[in-house]
């Protein structure tokens, strides 16, 4: 029998999780999270200026061997599926996959700096805003001092979607091989809920059975409104998606 890892491509600098944890996108239905992995709310904590600085883990949820997770935004039992997706179309939610199966770096913009460079695949943006620290990552990469470079690397590592990668002089991404973890993003500043953050190279199988490129950091839409499904494109912020789970939400 062939190994699933024969079918996926791993982004340079990333490491695929091989411990039978993966996400399956079902056609017009939920995500199925296969396997056991830390699974909890993940709050984006801003500083006083409103710039995203850190994550704070919140409530954890028990997983089954296969756990069905809402991706239409309509479940009354979030983060789990309650079959509300069966009415999704009548609420204007189309769950059809629209993301490319091609490698992210094929469409990324490259910003060259004097020491390091930055790749930016904007369509993956999950609007987490860690890139706004200091002079912002696109400017920090244009400096050669240690503080600027460390700042740029730090911002990229916090970027949950993998939109941003900092590349070293050997032309390799500077990546941390984070352990597998799944976070339900809660945006404290905007008081809205965000995507499912996959950390640590968790493979994602599309609804047509093929795998997306495996990346260390990925964000999956759970509001049902992304134009780049199954990945988040930040639309949850403009629609003020609420999962009803955040301890910070006052709306
Ligand atoms: S969760 Fe971000 S666009 Fe749906």
Strands (DSSP E) contained in 47-103 are 52-60, 66-69
CA of 210 to the centre of ligand 1 (A): 22
Q: Are 223 and 73 in contact (CB under 8 A)?
A: yes
Ligand 1 atom with the shortest distance to the CA of 127: 2
pLDDT of 249 higher than 90:
no
Distance CA 81, CA 76 (A): 8
Q: In Å, what is the CA distance from 44 to each residue of 65, 129, 209?
A: 28, 9, 32
CA of 56 to the centre of ligand 1 (A): 20
For the beta carbon of residue 195, count every other beta carbon within 10 angstroms: 29
Q: Which residues' Cβ are closer than 6 Å to ligand 1?
A: 126, 194-195, 221-223, 225-226, 232-236
Q: What pLDDT score was predicted for residue 143?
A: 97
Q: What pLDDT score was predicted for residue 8?
A: 86
CA of 73 to the centre of ligand 1 (A): 9
Least confident of 98-102, 136-140, 218-222, 224-228: 98-102
Ligand 1 atom with the shortest distance to the CA of 196: 1
* Average per-residue pLDDT for the chain: 95
Ligand 1 atom with the shortest distance to the CA of 225: 4
Q: What pLDDT score was predicted for residue 104?
A: 86
Distance CA 231, CA 140 (A): 27
CA of 236 to the centre of ligand 1 (A): 4
Q: What pLDDT score was predicted for residue 3?
A: 65
* Residue 232 CB burial class (10 angstroms; 0-12, 13-18, ≥19): buried
pLDDT of 251 higher than 60:
no
The residues, ordered by sequence, that sit 6+ positions from 52 with a Cβ below 8 Å of its Cβ are: 44, 45, 46, 128, 129, 130, 132, 133, 158, 189
């Amino acid at each position: 029998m062939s190994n699933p890892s024969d079918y996926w491509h791993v982004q340079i600098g990333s490491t695929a999780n091989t411990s039978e944890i993966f996400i399956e996108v079902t056609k017009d239905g939920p995500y199925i999270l296969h396997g056991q992995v830390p699974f909890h709310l993940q709050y984006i904590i801003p500083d006083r200026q409103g710039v995203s600085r850190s994550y704070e883990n919140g409530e954890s949820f028990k997983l089954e061997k296969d756990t069905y997770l809402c991706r239409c935004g309509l479940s009354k039992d979030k983060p789990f599926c309650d079959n509300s997706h069966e009415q999704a179309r009548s609420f204007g939610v189309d769950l059809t996959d629209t993301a490319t199966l091609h490698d992210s770096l094929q469409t990324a913009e490259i910003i060259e700096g004097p020491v390091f460079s930055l790749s930016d695949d904007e369509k993956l943006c999950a609007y987490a805003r860690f890139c706004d620290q200091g002079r912002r990552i696109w400017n920090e990469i244009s400096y050669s001092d240690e503080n600027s470079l460390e700042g740029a690397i730090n911002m990229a590592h916090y970027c949950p979607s993998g939109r941003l990668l900092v590349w070293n002089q050997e032309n390799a991404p500077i990546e941390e091989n984070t352990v597998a973890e799944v976070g339900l993003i809660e945006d404290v500043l905007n008081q809205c809920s965000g995507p499912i953050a996959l950390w640590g190279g968790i493979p994602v199988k599309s609804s047509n059975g093929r795998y997306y490129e495996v990346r260390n950091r990925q964000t999956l839409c759970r509001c049902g409104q992304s134009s780049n499904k199954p990945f988040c494109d930040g639309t949850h912020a403009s629609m003020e998606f609420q999962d009803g789970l955040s301890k910070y939400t006052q709306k």
